[in-house]
A and B are shown apart, each in its own frame.
Chain A
Amino acid sequence: MQRIGDAPRTRRLLVGLAIVLSVLFLLLPLVAIFAQALAEGMAVFWNNLSDDYTLAAIGLTLLVAALTIPVNLVFGVFLAWLVTRFSFPGRRLLQTFIDIPFAVSPVVAGLIYLLLYGSNGWIGSWLDEYDIQLMFAWPGIVLVTIFVTCPFVARELIPLMQAQGAREEEAAVTLGASGFTIFRRVTLPNIKWALLYGVILTNARAVGEFGAVSVVSGSIRGETNTLPLHVELLYQDYNTVGAFTAAALLALIALFTLAAKAGLEWRATRREQFR
């Protein structure tokens, strides 16, 4: 039987096309980022990097990721556990709810939070009376980032936990294990890799989120300016090299994330083989 792409010429053409496109659309822009960042030499690159505002942006971005990940890790596991291990009315609805942050544009997400928690908002006006300010400060940025990234862990876990079924856990129950022990000794080892994968995706998105953060940030330089916002700001300042330096940082984080993901996948497949 002949399949599409079996003829040597077609195959070569397809492979060639794939390579050319990958280089043009993926590799070249990446190279360009680093080339632009280093365009005026190491010294300028270093200067841009050690700029107070850039450092503050890096710090804030890492802080946001560091707060977002644990929250969504717990939330994601909890949700996946609930949805796959229990049956209750509204279970399907809940599963649809998880996807809302994916379906909604980040800008809209930011606006919703602003309308709720801004000083005129339903909750915000009440908080304002106690002099608590969430929007236009780092807590607001963390809030919207949590919202935007909250499906990642759950979405990774649900299919896996559904496929694995509850048999092992049921066995543990019959052996008299407590809930927490079951989770720690049975569930967690089974979902470990998917969980880490979800965390990696969460991290990537938390670090890179622009739209939602841009709405609630108030862009106070050195205070509520995250790395992606900083890139835009520098670019608008006609500081192209600076913008690309910040962009290169983001790209580095992305590459690191991809490497971690590839490493995980590699370990996971190796594990399968040795089993």
Chain B
Amino acid sequence: MTLSLFLHRRAIASAVTLSLTAGFAVPTLAADRELLNSSYDIARELFATINPEFVTWWEERHDESIEVKQSHGGSSKQARAIMQGLRADVVTYNQVTDVNVLAEQGLVAEDWQQQFPNNASPYYSTTAFLVREGNPKGIDSWDDLVEGDIEIVFPNPKTSGNGRYTYLAAWAYADREFDGDQEQIREFMKEFLGNVKVFDTGGRGATTTFVERGIGDVLISFESEVNNISKEYGEDDYDVVVPPVSILAEFPVAVVEEYAERNDNTDLARGYLEYLYTEEAQRLLAGFNYRVNDETVQGEFAEQFPETELLRVEDVFGSWGQVMDTHFASGGELDQLQRR
């Protein structure tokens, strides 16, 4: 009895020791400095490719060893986490609004968009269509999407930044098409939203709906995502369509100054973001189907990115703040359009 208890105790003790050693046996090469990048959900592979290159690039120029750590999640959730104390040195997001939130809290410089070229967006994308093989419904632009029998899949603009861009792209298209006639734009948007078959909460869910459940004629998402999906699920089954007019989706970056300073990483953080603008990094980015501004790389990848006219959200709608208030706030334009 006492013995069996004793044995149990030994077993438990050894289990504890085992798990403790396992917990600390994780190989972490002690780097002189660690940089934490808080990023959006679908950028994991992207930064898994870029970070080792950056480490080499930095270590060649500085006499220290560094390590870049990644945190990924929905970018609004990520921004929240930073506000609650996640000590990221830099943010690389897919939503301007999420960096703005950090700027309002004083964690990021107020003029963050001026601190790096191209509105602090080292790469960009746009909204594109994924259609079934051979494009049987002949979808080439936004006006094809309001035909009666078209079924559309894209994430809910209320919950997804990706979905927001789709909504804004359609609106921007209509705005140009009808020369700013609000009545006609709303009519167009009503038909467009009426054709949406499923509103998933996020991009990944919409992909599943379109690809695995086979619902809908067209999936609307970032051009980069649409290309990745078609690669992943078979290029023979889907075609990528980039409409002639669409919205410019910026991928903003910023130094989280407060934490970078505290972590003694300000120079490293700036270096990291500057690296994203180098030809080497731009090439990597283009490889992940993002559009870049580096002209050499643009030339190399010209075939991959069909020419299209990209409208800036700020030019069409004023500011992101206004967009959020008029369109996506409760009772806003989106809610009214969906109520019929």
Contact = CB atoms under 8 A, between A and B. Distances in A.
Task: Indicate, yes or no, whether A interacts with B.
Answer: yes
Interface of A: 52, 55-56, 58-60, 62-63, 65-66, 69-70, 114, 118-121, 124, 128, 133, 135-136, 189, 192, 196, 218-223, 233, 236-238
Contacts of A120: 83-85
A119 B259 CA distance: 12
Contact of B70 (A119, A196, A221): A221
Contacts of A236: 41-42, 44, 204
A212 to B, nearest CB: 15
B86 interface: yes
B339 to A, nearest CB: 30
19 contacts: A52-B27, A55-B27, A58-B22, A59-B22, A59-B26, A60-B26, A62-B22, A63-B19, A63-B22, A66-B19, A119-B84, A121-B84, A135-B85, A136-B81, A136-B85, A136-B87, A189-B1, A222-B69, A237-B45
B72 interface: yes
B7 interface: no
Interface residues of B, number: 34
Interface in B47-105: 69-73, 81, 83-87
Contacts of B228: 238
Given A128-B85, A135-B84, A136-B87, A220 B70 contact: yes
A221 B72 contact: yes
A172 to B, nearest CB: 17
Contacts of B5: 189, 192
A40 to B, nearest CB: 15
B72 A233 contact: yes
Contacts of A220: 36, 69-71
Which residue among A55, A133, A220, A223 has the maximum number of chain B CB atoms within 10 Å of its CB? A220
B20 interface: yes
B24 interface: yes
A69 B20 CA distance: 13
Prevailing SS type, chain B contact patch: helix
A59 B25 contact: yes
A189 B4 CA distance: 11
Contacts of A189: 1, 5
Contacts of B16: 66, 69-70
Interface in B272-289: none
Contacts of B36: 220
A222 to B, nearest CB: 7
B234 interface: no
B41 to A, nearest CB: 6
B333 to A, nearest CB: 30
A236 B202 CA distance: 11
B303 interface: no
Contacts of A135: 84-86
Contact of A119 (B20, B24, B45, B85): B85
User: Top 9 closest A-B pairs, CB basis?
Assistant: A119-B85, A63-B23, A62-B19, A118-B84, A66-B19, A136-B86, A59-B23, A218-B86, A56-B26
Nearest to A133: B85
B232 interface: yes
B27 to A, nearest CB: 6
Interface string B1-35: 10001001000000110111011111110000000
B105 to A, nearest CB: 9
Contacts of B27: 52, 55
A96 B27 CA distance: 44
Nearest to A185: B2
Which residue among B23, B36, B42, B228 has the maximum number of chain A CB atoms within 10 Å of its CB? B23
Contact of A238 (B19, B23, B71, B232): B232
Given A63-B20, A233-B44, A236-B42, A219 B73 contact: yes
A220 B71 CA distance: 4
A34 B44 CA distance: 25
B71 A221 contact: yes
B288 to A, nearest CB: 13
A119 B81 CA distance: 10
A121 B85 CA distance: 9
